[in-house]
Chain A
Amino acid sequence: MKKPIYLDYSATTPVDPRVAEKMCKYLTLDGEFGNPASRSHSFGWHAEEAVEEARAHVAALIGADRKEIVWTSGATESDNLAIKGVANFYGKKGRHIVTCKTEHKAVLDTCRQLEREGFEVTYLDPEPNGLLDLEKLKAAIRPDTILVSVMHVNNEIGVIQDIAAIGKIARERGALFHCDAAQSTGKVPIDVNAMNVDLMSLSAHKTYGPKGIGALYVRRKPRVRLEAQMHGGGHERGMRSGTLAPHQCVGMGEAFRYAKQEMAAEIERIRGLRDRMLSALKDMPEVYVNGDLDRRVAHNLNMSFNFVEGESLIMALKDIAVSSGSACTSASLEPSYVLRALGRNDELAHSSIRFTLGRFTTQEEVDYAAMLVKEKVAKLRELSPLWEMHQEGVDISKVQWAAH
């Protein structure tokens, strides 16, 4: 078993070796290195063929037509293009946007920017399980609402929003629906038509493709319009200029092709490992799963280990690569905004660890990780004055702390 063990697949995934192999054929002189926009020779034509084939694979995974796929640099750019593009194009029709407090920063910060430009944004609170209350969504949509933006799968807690229902509500109210699906491709079946999605952000590197490329699905029927955010040679039907990177496009296409082929079996295998890990950890005292356990992707386990601070736990778990909802390393000392939005108290938010499993995770790795977590949590609790107080029956929430 190689250490450290990688259990941070929601941060990024390694490129699948089959994908990497194919990508290498689109770089060098003896491969297809042409500019797909070159119309005058076979170098350009061959590169364009490769890019278009890849585009079709991306479209196929989400039930779209390939003409509805716009290549971008990643999901952050896709979120920016979707939200700013819609706001800029439809700004005369209305200036209100509805989103959720647990969205990725690429959505939240883009909305903040639009607020500075005079748009109004409603940030909905999720329920304590991380999911949106659809009645609250309905109540938030107004006649001047032009866009609803809700992510498919949350990056921290892995909960799956009811995208089909949200899309239906948005459509009934005459608002466009943007969905950030960076975390859901290859993890949950997607059908943009059944789910009434108008715009969908996609990322390659969360699904065993390369970093540096993503895509935005833009519905054609009924047609969704966008104002370009990147101007230039008019690539991607004018929505996103810039020479395409065929090796990157091919990488994303191959990664998504394998995802479509292998998803069903892969999800079940990973779910088995995740559940094995959960059952090893859940009997410890004072541990809590963050977010709904049933409506959650198979590879995510986000847990709070009460009375242990997340950063010190990560330090203790140096043989496994995980991430923490505690942001003590940043100057702000703010714990995870996602966990805070669920109503988790500060101690639990500071005590959270996200384990995300993936294609190359083995049972041996999961067993070792669970054993390590149990050992280190016990050790850190011996060091924790809060654990001692809890053992003595003190209610930590009733103590008057001198905040600093």
Chain B
Amino acid sequence: MAYSDKVLDHYENPRNVGVLDKSDPNVGTGMVGAPACGDVMKLQIKVNEQGVIEDAKFKTYGCGSAIASSSLLTEWVKGKTIEQAGKIKNTQIAEELALPPVKIHCSVLAEDAIKAAIADYRTKATGKGSKADAA
């Protein structure tokens, strides 16, 4: 199967691989997917007092498209407010990376990952969470 140049670039030079301190109240962590399905994405965001994502890190177990989707996502969310980041759609990721139909689920997983990370951050920040945004 042929991958697009953008997928290959993100796969070979993944951006923002790493870990943020889970216990930091300003860090939200989202882990989505399942090993049985062949992909697991972990996305972490660090949010400042203005609600802007100042850092993002990921680790992904999965195919090249899954790695590229999460790598691209970390680039996109940095500097965005959590509201803006929560509006990123899987179709934008799929389009940017020119994912073929069988790989669309990778972009869906990336969208789920940022939503999960934001929900985790909000849960920590408010102590109650706002589950509505995590849907």
Chain A contacts to B: CB under 8 angstroms: 307-309, 311-312, 315, 326, 328-331, 333, 335, 346-347, 350, 382-388, 396, 401-404
Contacts and interface: CB of A to CB of B under 8 A. Distances in A.
Interface residues of B, number: 31
Given A328-B38, A404-B33, A312 B67 contact: yes
Contacts, number: 87
Contacts of A326: 38
B14 interface: yes
Interface of chain A, main secondary structure: loop
Contacts of A384: 59-61
B34 A403 contact: yes
Contacts of B61: 307-309, 383-387
Given A315-B3, A382-B17, A403 B37 contact: yes
Contacts of B3: 315
Given A312-B63, A403-B36, A331 B102 contact: yes
A315 B12 CA distance: 9
A328 B37 CA distance: 9
A4 to B, nearest CB: 15
A330 B32 CA distance: 21
Contacts of A312: 11, 62-64, 66-67
Interface of chain B, main secondary structure: mixed
Given A328-B38, A329-B1, A403-B34, A383 B63 contact: no
Most chain B CB within a 10 A radius of its CB, from A312, A386, A396 = A312
Contacts of B34: 401-404
Nearest to B11: A315
B39 A383 contact: no
Interface string B13-46: 0100101000000000001111111111110000
A383 B60 contact: yes
Nearest to A347: B35
B105 interface: yes
A333 B38 contact: yes
B45 to A, nearest CB: 15
A404 B109 contact: yes
Interface string B55-76: 0000111111011000000000
Contacts of B19: 388
Given A328-B38, A382-B17, A309 B62 contact: yes
A315 B33 contact: no
